[in-house]
Amino acid sequence: MLNYFKTIGQVSWALCKGLGVTLRHMFSPALTVQYPYEKVPPADRFRGALAFHPDLCICCEMCTRACPSQCITMESLRNEQTKRKELIWYRIDFSRCHFCALCEESCPTKNKSIHHTSEYELTFNSRKDFVVEWTPKDPQPSGAAPGQVWTRFLSRGQKIGPSPEVVAATTPSAPTA
């Protein structure tokens, strides 16, 4: 008999605890956003798409050696007049990258030549799109200063559809003849 009432007490307590969580969330502000028209900013240490800055890179190849997935390849040539290496091309195969940041950590330049950004909307239409290449001649997007955060993904000009308000305003509610 005692066990019977003990079980009823435990179940009632568990039920109250569960309902307490529900009640707490009922009165807190909603976290839902209308993605992709509204976006929640990623956390400060979020590791998004890699950005590379040909203007800052000193071609030391530390990043290619640090990368455990071997997804970074590059070619450079030593300039005999300046005694410095000059970048020819730099490639990242994003199909192999697992966003570990080891390349960023190993990069010795003061402003990192390679670093993660907060860009997470990565879409690829084919396998070859995964391989992103930079060369020193690549134009920076207009208004971008050397070292400014930007990615090749942004420069692809990914587009989202019209906002729900525009869709609602332009979609006839009844079929037209």
Number of residues that bind ligand SF4 (CB under 6 A): 25
| Contact with ligand SF4 (CB under 6 A) among 25, 78, 84, 98 | 98
Mark residues 108-147: x for contact with ligand SF4 by CB under 6 A, - for none.
-x---xx---------------------------------
Region binding ligand SF4 by CB under 6 A among candidate stretches 38-46, 57-65, 128-136, 143-151: 57-65
Local structure of 24: helix, strand or coil: helix
Around Cβ 149, how many Cβ atoms within 10 Å?
13
Q: Does 103 bind ligand SF4 (CB under 6 A)?
A: yes
Tell me phi and psi for residue 160, to 5 degrees: -110, 160
**What b/e string do you get for 116-137 counting C-beta neighbours within 10 Å, with b at 16 or more?**
bbebeeeeeeeeeeeebebeee
Q: Does 102 bind ligand SF4 (CB under 6 A)?
A: yes
| Contact with ligand SF4 (CB under 6 A) among 49, 51, 72, 132 | 72
Q: Does 60 bind ligand SF4 (CB under 6 A)?
A: yes
Looking at the Cβ atoms of 6 and 98, the one nearer to ligand SF4 is 98
Q: How far, in Å, CA of 92 to CA of 132, rounded?
A: 5
What contacts 24+ positions apart, CB below 8 Å, involve 124-130? 124/94, 124/95, 127/95, 130/93, 130/94, 130/95
Residues that bind ligand SF4 (CB under 6 A): 57-63, 66-67, 69, 71-72, 92, 97-103, 106-107, 109, 113-114
